[in-house]
Amino acid sequence: MQISSRFTIALHILTAIHTFKDKYRVTSEFLSGSVQANPVIIRNILLQLKAAGMVKIPRGRTSESITLLKKPEEISLLSVYSAIEPLESDTLFAFHKNPNPSCPVGKNIHSILDDRLLSVQKAMEDKLKNMKLSDILSDLNQLI
| Structural domains of the chain, ranges and CATH numbers in brackets | 5-143 (1.10.10.10)
State whether residue 58 is helix, strand or coil: coil
Of 59, 86, 83, 85, the residue nearest 70 (C-alpha):
83
pLDDT tens string 68-116: 999 999 999 999 999 998 776 677 887 788 889 999 999 999 899 989 9
- Place 63 in a pLDDT band, splitting at 50, 70 and 90: confident
Q: Would you state the pLDDT for residue 41? A: 95
Residue 106 amino acid letter:
G
- pTM as predicted: 0.86
26 or 1: whose pLDDT is higher? Answer: 26
